[in-house]
Amino acid sequence: MACMNCETDGGGCGSGCSCSSSLPLKATGAASCLCIKCKDGVPAITVGNQTEPMCASCLYVSLLSKFKTAVNNHGLITPSDNVLVAVSGGPASRVAVEMLKEIRSKAQSDADASKDGTMKVFRLGVVYVDEATVLRLPESEAEAAVNSIKEMYDGIPVHTVELDCVYGTDGLPSDEDGDSASSKLKLTKLFESVKDMTGKEDMLELLRMQAIQTVAQISGYTKVVLALTATRIAAKVIAATTKGQGYSLPAFIQYLDGRWPIPVVLPLRDCVARELALHCHIAKLTTIFVRGLTTMADPRSSLNNLAHHFITLLQEENPSREHTIVRTAAKLTSFSFNAEVVPPSRRRRNPRNHDKGGGKSELSPEFLCSICRAPLQSSDMSPQTETTVGNGRDSSGNYADMKSTCCPSCLFQIFPEDGVQAEEKYLLFPDSTRKASTSTFSQRQKWMRSQIQDYLLPEETSGLFEYQLLFLTTMKLLLNLHTTSIYPWISRQLLNDVY
Amino acid sequence: MKLTLEFGGGLELLFGSVKIHKVDVPPPEGETKITVKHLLFWIRNNLLKERPEMFLKEKSVRPGVLVLINDCDWELCGMTEAVLEEKDSVVFISTLHGG
């Protein structure tokens, strides 16, 4: 290829180019085609950070520094951590692992050089979740993907796990063939029962996370790294808004997400997909592409897909849109489980981090949706139906418990059924999800009880409690008022009536 | 004109799951130069197996597809107007799928 305006061969307008800056460049600056970071006139290969022409090595330095800043400023990874990176074979997770390897080897050489040898270095492993059952991929394709992943991450522990391990008992993946076949069948049925494509995608994401958590717990990891880029987070923000998840949105766009047994961190939050893909190509990092649920489908096939297309369209108009969306959404108050553990050395420099995330947790404990683990707004918690309140409930829980502890978005997309169908679907969910719903349900009962404790009748007449609760929830619905403010008032009225 | 084309990030699915294509592209009638715009038309007419809307949008590639000419971002080379030469490599990477 030659420069358009002059006859110099090679990388665009290289150092020998004498053309004027009449190229239709998006980049600013008249010298245009030279890397603006290197001082020695290296030809630029791309436009990084939205407007800066950069050479390949400066692009990597810029990506690495964003990654390191995220890790250090937010205390995402400490030397004592055992880090598990969730990989998909795509460029983002590939680069994340490469960067962590580099940071680790630097830390290792520092540790080796230290005199007392007490310096610790974090450990690293990767996990790949094989979703072939759900995606209906031919076995050969799934096997090839697993093999390439193992090849790609040669030298560090690679865990590959099939998605149906979420059905394993007590967090252990089922090994026996019979078990595995039945859990695969369950998984297929569960996905068939979810009609909505957006619901299917969300469900896949949740089960994938459960599988990753299972591996992390069994193998003793202390942090899970997700390679979510700014591009994907921006798309998630838009998608979540359209799904009506405005309340829970701040929970999953922070650097740290502690809703899971093993905390999840997002160190690539400041990097865009485009730059990562470019770096992978230039640095000859192999990536694989595994078909997803909506691959080759119409953009309108799911909300998530549509949001992603929308973001790339915006990006085309203005390259900083992704960052703008992520930064704007990050202004929303996050939850207590997003609070970062800032290392003491950084504390004074980031005074804001102290109170970050405390805001919403003071009034009530955080109750999470039993399917997607989105924080529930108190007004979203649907009242218990008569069957759950009136009749004696066994400790194993039932579908009504689950439905009453679901966020509206999951109720709409994943679990809209009622009656017998709902009962059947409830049994298809993994044990962990069902357990979560039972425990959320009983915790919430306990919390509600504690809120009205002062106004309750003495022990011997406590059989009335269930009826009180039913009465209160009905009243709450009628008045549509905030739970915490209305409960004491109603209880008092109720007591007046009783006496 | 002999060119090497490479498709990645899922775009290969549109080209029979083959990533690298070595092709011989004739220049448009009455001209000797080949621009990227011409190459895109040529790909659509000769190479693309299905769903042209997943690759092209109007006269350019669809948003979210990264184009590299000899490992240089096409935004620095004049986008669709960039002139190609013998044995150039052109890479198309979709960033629409996550990582």
Interface contact A289-B8, CB threshold 8 A? yes
Listed in order, strand segments (DSSP E) in B9-99 are 20-24, 34-35, 56-57, 60-61, 65-69, 72-73, 83-84, 89-94
Strongest mean pLDDT among A20-24, A100-104, A339-343, B42-46: A100-104
Residue A137 has pLDDT above 70, yes or no: yes
Under the banding of pLDDT at 50, 70 and 90, the label for residue A488 is low
Q: Which two structure tokens, joined as six digits, stand for A344? A: 């003491």
Interface contact A24-B72, CB threshold 8 A? no
Under the banding of pLDDT at 50, 70 and 90, the label for residue A486 is low
CA distance B38 to A26: 22
Under the banding of pLDDT at 50, 70 and 90, the label for residue A385 is very low
Residue B10, number of CB atoms within 10 A of its CB: 20
Residue A372: its pLDDT value, please? 85
Residue A335 has pLDDT above 80, yes or no: yes
Which of A236-240, A257-261, A271-275, A373-377 is the least confident region?
Answer: A373-377
Of the two residues B50 and A201, the one the predictor is more confident about is A201
A101 and A143 Cβ atoms separated by less than 8 Å: no
Under the banding of pLDDT at 50, 70 and 90, the label for residue A344 is low
Residue A496: its pLDDT value, please? 63
What's A42's DSSP letter? P
Residue A247 has pLDDT above 60, yes or no: yes
Under the banding of pLDDT at 50, 70 and 90, the label for residue A10 is very low
Residue A473 has pLDDT above 80, yes or no: no
pLDDT per residue as tens digits for the range A212-223: 999 999 999 999
Mean pLDDT (chain A, rounded): 78
Residue A193 has pLDDT above 70, yes or no: yes
Of the two residues A259 and A41, the one the predictor is more confident about is A259
Nearest to B83 among A1, A13, A90 (CB): A1
A47 and A62 Cβ atoms separated by less than 8 Å: no
Residue A358: its pLDDT value, please? 43
Among A residues 308-347, those touching chain B with beta carbons less than 8 Å apart: 308-309, 312-313, 315-316
Interface contact A9-B66, CB threshold 8 A? no
What's A265's DSSP letter? E
Residue A46: its pLDDT value, please? 81
Query: Any CB–CB contact under 8 A between A229 and chain B?
Result: yes
Residue A350 has pLDDT above 80, yes or no: no
Under the banding of pLDDT at 50, 70 and 90, the label for residue A149 is very high
A38 and A44 Cβ atoms separated by less than 8 Å: no
Most A-contacting residue of B6, B39, B55, B73 (CB-CB within 10 A), to test interface: B73
Q: Which two structure tokens, joined as six digits, stand for A275? A: 């730059």
Chain A partners within 8 Å of B79 (Cβ): 24
Single pTM value for the model: 0.80
Residue A370 has pLDDT above 50, yes or no: yes
Which residue's entry shows tokens 């569960």?
Answer: A190
Chain A partners within 8 Å of B96 (Cβ): 308-309, 312
List, in order of start, the domains of chain A with CATH numbers: 3-15+63-361 (3.40.50.620), 363-444 (no CATH), 456-499 (no CATH)
CA distance A125 to A148: 16
A205 and A371 Cβ atoms separated by less than 8 Å: no
The stretches of A321-368 forming alpha helices (DSSP H) are 321-330, 344-347, 352-355
Sequence-distant (≥ 6) Cβ neighbours of residue A440 within 8 angstroms: A367, A368, A370, A405
Residue A453 has pLDDT above 80, yes or no: no
Which of A195-209, A238-252, A311-325, A437-451 is the least confident region?
Answer: A437-451
Residue A397 has pLDDT above 80, yes or no: no
**Kind of pairing between the strands at B65-69 and B72-73:** antiparallel
Q: How far is B80 from chain A (nearest CA, A)?
A: 10
CA distance A303 to A244: 12
Q: How far is A97 from chain B (nearest CA, A)?
A: 12
Residue A494: its pLDDT value, please? 61
Nearest CA in chain B to A95: B99
Of the two residues A425 and A343, the one the predictor is more confident about is A425
CA distance A358 to A362: 7
A369 and A245 Cβ atoms separated by less than 8 Å: no
CB under 8 A, 24+ apart: contacts of A185-192? A186/A428, A187/A133, A187/A134, A187/A163, A188/A133, A188/A134, A189/A428, A190/A425, A190/A428, A190/A429, A191/A134
CA distance A286 to A282: 10
Which residue's entry shows tokens 């709409």?
Answer: A412
Chain B partners within 8 Å of A33 (Cβ): 76
Interface contact A278-B70, CB threshold 8 A? no
CB under 8 A, 24+ apart: contacts of A153-159? A153/A87, A153/A97, A153/A126, A156/A97, A156/A101, A156/A124, A156/A125, A156/A126, A157/A124, A157/A125, A157/A126, A157/A219, A158/A125, A158/A126, A158/A127, A158/A128, A159/A84, A159/A125, A159/A126, A159/A127, A159/A128, A159/A215, A159/A219
The SS3 assignment for A245 reads coil
Mean pLDDT computed over A223-236: 92
B5 and B15 Cβ atoms separated by less than 8 Å: no
CA distance A469 to A472: 5
Q: Which of A376, A367, A364 is nearest to A439 (CA)?
A: A367
Residue A9: its pLDDT value, please? 40
pLDDT per residue as tens digits for the range A416-444: 877 788 888 888 888 888 888 888 888 87
Nearest CA in chain B to A316: B63
Amino acid at A93: S
Query: Any CB–CB contact under 8 A between A243 and chain B?
Result: no
Residue A84: its pLDDT value, please? 95
Angle between helices A273-282 and A56-73 (to 10 degrees): 130
Q: Which two structure tokens, joined as six digits, stand for A300? A: 């309108």
Mean pLDDT computed over A374-386: 65
Residue A464: its pLDDT value, please? 63
Residue A393 has pLDDT above 90, yes or no: no
Percent above pLDDT 90 for chain A: 24
CA distance A268 to A67: 6
CA distance A270 to A277: 14
The DSSP line for A100-130 is HHHHHHHHHHHHHHSSS------EEEEEEEE
CA distance A106 to A67: 15
Amino acid at B64: G
Which of A36-50, A138-152, A241-255, B49-63 is the least confident region?
Answer: A36-50
Q: How far is A23 from chain B (nearest CA, A)?
A: 6
